[in-house]
Amino acid sequence: MGAGRPLLVITAGCSGIMFAEFLQYLFSGMTIGATYALVGLGFAIIYNASHVINFAQGEFVMIGGMATVFLIHIGLPLPVAILGAVALAVVTGLALEKLAVEPARNADVVTLIIITIGASIFLRGLAQVLWGKEFFALPAFSGNDPIHLGGATLLPQSLWVLGITLAIVVALAWFFKYTLIGKAILATACNADAAKMMGINTQFILFISFGLSALLGAVAGIIVAPITLTSYDVGIMLGLKGFVAAVLGGLGSAVGAIVGGLLLGIIEAMAAGYISSDYKDAVPFVIILLILFFLPSGLFGARGTERV
Amino acid sequence: MLAKLTHPRIGGLLILSLIIALLPLALPNNYYYDVAIKIGINAIVVVGLNLLIGYAGQISLGHGGFFGLGAYTSGILTAVYGWPPLLALLTGVAVVGVLSFIVARPILRLTGHYLAMATLGLGIIISIVISNEDWLTGGPDGMYVEPFTLLGWELYGEKPWYWVIGALLVISVWMAMNIVDSPAGRALRAVHGSEVAAQVVGVDTTGYKVLLFVVSAVFASVMGSLFAHYSGFITPAQAGFFHSIELVTMVVLGGMASTYGALVGAVLLTVLPQLLSGFEDFEMVIFGLILMLTLIFMPKGLVPTLTHKLKDWRGGRS
Amino acid sequence: MSLLRVENLGKSFGGVDAINDLSFTIAANTIHAVIGPNGAGKTTLFNMITGVYQPTRGDIFLDDASTVGKPPHVLASRGMSRTFQNLQVCMNMTAIENVMVGRHLHLNRSFLAAMLRLPAIVRGDRQCREKAAELMEFVGVGQYIKTDANAMPYGALKRLEIARALAAEPKLLLLDEPAAGLNAKETAEIDGLIQKIAATGITVVLVEHDMKLVMHISDYLLVLDFGKKLAEGTPTEIRNNPEVIAAYLGAA
């Protein structure tokens, strides 16, 4: 706890150390936060297309990391392994939509939640059968020599995580703004009935959304695997925290999910560093409860009056 | 008289009592008694949860947390502080009742996915606290719990527990069905059907939702306490996310808004893992697959779908 | 004395005024119609009167006591009941149970008594069921007493909502487009029903889209246009009001 720490720090050296510590937590928070953002973005995209919450989102993260490890193990070079793993996750996502979500489109919210939870248990079980229960490490993309910055150290992999996340966000923004299918997804999110009348195949949009979410999840799982290790059940917590990120930013808001994810990662790292690392995993849930109590539409969600 | 017997409340309760009374004839050893008791414990929690999810339409992914909180309150107060089990159980009820009441109002203002998120978060926080405070709870390794005693009489062994849980199950089902078919119950079902319609005829929908949330949480807490004494050993898993999911799955699989559906769901999901444990590594794959397939093909759950089929079949014949 | 009084009422959604500076009174034991084209703010007005929305400005009085800030269920206990433009029937219940929900305020609402099924609950429910059946006969859906709500045709569901609203025994009954989506014969029947309800001493306020329809049953009309009062008066006055004629001819 912080009881023994001086409240007022006078010497420059000491404040330097404190700053370095702060910077260290910020780096690790942003790194893990970027993965939450990608997972949260996946939740938001599917939610927008269908108002379905896909509780199997975390399993795409797991498939990304685990499949890459496996493909490297059978001798493929890293870039090929990554492409293969992403492809596997996307196919899984598309299959999930086609085989499990689409046939149950008109079911109750709770029923759909349980179906996606069933899918996540199934995928996790399959991973455990195929790849075992051990933890695996993925080699860092460009070595492990830490970079020193303001007294804190930064792993090159963290730069990869932040860089790739940024690249994906830019690519997504371009995709939604300039491609026909991207615009169709936005239109469906805005008003599914109107989109349908304009000739947009909303069923197909949902299909594509699952593929896109799986891609984002898999990328998140791959880039973070060299830092946090990966295993068959890594998807549970990452999935839940991604969901928290999406709700934190206001369900369905893409910008909200990204900011929510980063914020969540940073607060989590700060809380772990300054308060208690035992309660690191509880932090996102405490935050989300507070947000839901006091700002029920999330940080960026629109407040609307229900029409009667 | 015959019409009364075919009424679901009376006829169904009679059949349920008969099954509970006669089942021991078919239970060869204590292992089977153990499974039956676990079914009963789950069933009682699920009957309460079904009132909330199935009838009132409010999702909770956090009832495992209330179950665990009840279990640990009983475990800690009896083992560490030497309290009598009944007092510990009632304290658990008070703790869970107050906690669920405090969070219910802000949580139940939320709907659908937000409600799922909030209850899920609450459950996870409870399980993390139980895992971390190992000086009190034994942490992830779990803790031993004393047997249940009342006025010098010790409840120990599978057979006595079987009858206690069996009796509680019949009472719970009776009470749940009473609620469904009462002014309060109709008000709650109206909340599910159209909340605004219920409000404009005078239903304090928030008040009822809060009350039902608390009642279903207390159902879970009591059964958590009893489970702790029965099994003699508890782990944070009892409060965990998976236990919450398991409970909701029992409601949905058996059939929402059907008390007997809740019972069927509890039987299936308690027995299934026992059957699947023979498949070892494939247990999760098969479990996930069964869950998905059942709900894809019977989105309303087993009991409502099958009774509907039966009605159609009868209608087709006459 | 007026039963309902609306003073300088206003409601904005995101800066757009749905209702602006609206004042009027409704006397007891009358049939009062609120008419106006789509988007005139009729349903918004109903939602504010019944507490579903809170007004941005102004005040509403029921029996000279303000209703603003009170939730719908409290206003229901003060004698208000309503139906909805887009049906709000509980499809997860039977038809008669829907009407029984309407009797909520007149029953033992205790959770504990219900759980133990005390004799008072059994007795109250038996009477409630009889009363609900009577009301279903009264509104003309007696043949659906044993039916699930989701198996009833649209026209019957509109009447079922009226029965549910009546079950609460209101002083003031607000009907939001009771004839919407009905054919000419059904509309005439609904008109007859409304007169029958008013004859029992209940004050009826109805929103209608079509002016001709309500002309002969209403004692008094309020014409809204773009959230403002265009005119009010007896049917004869309204029929001869040049502004109303202009608005309606313009709209057509």
User: Torsion-angle region of residue C174: left (phi > 0), alpha (psi -120 to 50) or beta?
Assistant: beta
Neighbour tally for A304: CB within 10 Å: 9
Neighbour tally for C131: CB within 10 Å: 18
Are the C-beta atoms of residues B184 and C117 closer than 8 Å to each other? no
B1 lies in some domain: no
pLDDT score at A1: 37
B205 lies in some domain: yes
Stretch (H or E) spanning C233 = strand C228-233
Are the C-beta atoms of residues C88 and C37 closer than 8 Å to each other? no
DSSP class of B39: H
Proportion of chain C in helix, strand, coil states, percent, rounded to 5: 45, 25, 30
Pick the CATH number of A29-142+154-294 from 1.10.3470, 3.40.50, 1.10.260, 2.30.30: 1.10.3470
Asked if B181 and C115 come within 8 Å (Cβ–Cβ), the reply is no
Mind telling me how many Å the CA of A38 is from chain B's nearest CA? 18
Judged by a CB distance cut-off of 8 A, whether residue B187 touches chain C is yes
Q: What is the CATH number of the domain that holds B220?
A: 1.10.3470
Nearest to C158 by CA among C88, C216, C103: C88
What ipTM was reported for this prediction? 0.91
Compute the radius of gyration of chain B from its Cα atoms: 20
Give A104's contacts in chain B (Cβ within 8 Å): 295-296, 299
Judged by a CB distance cut-off of 8 A, whether residue C121 touches chain B is yes
Give C115's contacts in chain B (Cβ within 8 Å): 175, 178-179
B318 lies in some domain: no
- From C46, which residue of chain A is nearest by alpha-carbon distance? A308
Domain count of chain B? 1
Nearest to A50 by CA among A180, A189, A176: A189
Task: Give residue B216's Cα distance to chain centre.
Answer: 8
- Local confidence band at A86 (pLDDT 50, 70, 90 cut-offs): very high
Give A111's contacts in chain B (Cβ within 8 Å): 252, 256, 295, 299-300
Give B183's contacts in chain C (Cβ within 8 Å): 100, 103-104, 107-109, 114, 121, 124-125, 128
Are the C-beta atoms of residues A55 and A113 closer than 8 Å to each other? yes
- Local confidence band at A303 (pLDDT 50, 70, 90 cut-offs): very low
- From B172, which residue of chain C is nearest by alpha-carbon distance? C115
Asked if C13 and A308 come within 8 Å (Cβ–Cβ), the reply is no
Give the residue-averaged pLDDT of A61-74.
Answer: 94
Judged by a CB distance cut-off of 8 A, whether residue A286 touches chain B is yes
pLDDT score at A140: 87
Neighbour tally for B305: CB within 10 Å: 16
Judged by a CB distance cut-off of 8 A, whether residue B186 touches chain C is yes
Mind telling me how many Å the CA of A111 is from chain B's nearest CA? 6
Neighbour tally for B219: CB within 10 Å: 27
pLDDT score at B236: 94
Stretch (H or E) spanning C207 = strand C203-208
What stretches in chain C show pLDDT beneath 70? 1, 210-211, 249-252
Residues B239-291: pLDDT tens digits?
A: 998 899 899 999 988 988 889 999 999 999 999 888 888 777 888 898 899 88
Of A6-10, A247-251, B164-168, C244-248, highest mean pLDDT: B164-168
Cα maximum dimension of chain C: 64
Asked if B202 and C73 come within 8 Å (Cβ–Cβ), the reply is yes
Nearest to C71 by CA among C53, C46, C56: C53
Judged by a CB distance cut-off of 8 A, whether residue C154 touches chain A is no
Pairwise CA distance, residues A186 & A254, whole Å: 11
- From C82, which residue of chain B is nearest by alpha-carbon distance? B200
Q: Is residue A302's pLDDT more than 60?
A: no
B222 lies in some domain: yes
Pairwise CA distance, residues B143 & C224, whole Å: 70
Q: Is residue A213's pLDDT more than 80?
A: yes
Q: Is residue A8's pLDDT more than 50?
A: no
Residue A264 amino acid letter = L
Give A97's contacts in chain B (Cβ within 8 Å): none
Residues B172-223: pLDDT tens digits?
A: 999 999 999 999 999 999 999 999 999 999 999 989 999 999 999 999 999 9
- Local confidence band at A128 (pLDDT 50, 70, 90 cut-offs): very high
Pairwise CA distance, residues B280 & A129, whole Å: 10
DSSP class of A136: B
Which residue in the block uniquely carries the two structure tokens 């009477």?
C127
Which residue in the block uniquely carries the two structure tokens 């527990």?
B161
Q: Is residue A203's pLDDT more than 90?
A: no
Neighbour tally for A79: CB within 10 Å: 9
Proportion of chain A in helix, strand, coil states, percent, rounded to 5: 75, 5, 25
Judged by a CB distance cut-off of 8 A, whether residue B3 touches chain C is no
pLDDT, greater one: A262 or A1: A262
> Which backbone phi and psi does A146 adopt, to 5 degrees?
-70, 150
Give residues with Cβ within 8 angstroms of B283, minimum separation 6.
A125, B273, B276, B277
Of A104, A129, A247, the CB nearest to B114: A247
- From C126, which residue of chain B is nearest by alpha-carbon distance? B182
Nearest to A219 by CA among A65, A50, A72: A65
Asked if A308 and C88 come within 8 Å (Cβ–Cβ), the reply is yes
B2 lies in some domain: no
What range does the domain containing B110 cover?
Answer: 7-274+282-312
pLDDT score at B171: 95
Mind telling me how many Å the CA of C220 is from chain B's nearest CA? 25
**CA A92, A98, A99, A104 torsion-angle sign:** positive
Read off the tokens for A282. 């509880």
The tally of CA atoms less than 13 A away on the side-chain side of residue B167 is 5
Judged by a CB distance cut-off of 8 A, whether residue C88 touches chain A is yes
Asked if C52 and B187 come within 8 Å (Cβ–Cβ), the reply is no
Of C71, C104, C124, the CB nearest to B201: C104
Neighbour tally for A181: CB within 10 Å: 14
- Local confidence band at A139 (pLDDT 50, 70, 90 cut-offs): confident
Residues B72-108: pLDDT tens digits?
A: 999 999 988 989 999 999 999 999 999 999 988 888 8
Q: Is residue A202's pLDDT more than 60?
A: yes
pLDDT score at B97: 96
Judged by a CB distance cut-off of 8 A, whether residue B192 touches chain C is yes
Q: Which of C47, C74, C101, C122 to mutate to test the interface with B (most CBs of B within 10 A)?
A: C101
pLDDT score at C65: 93
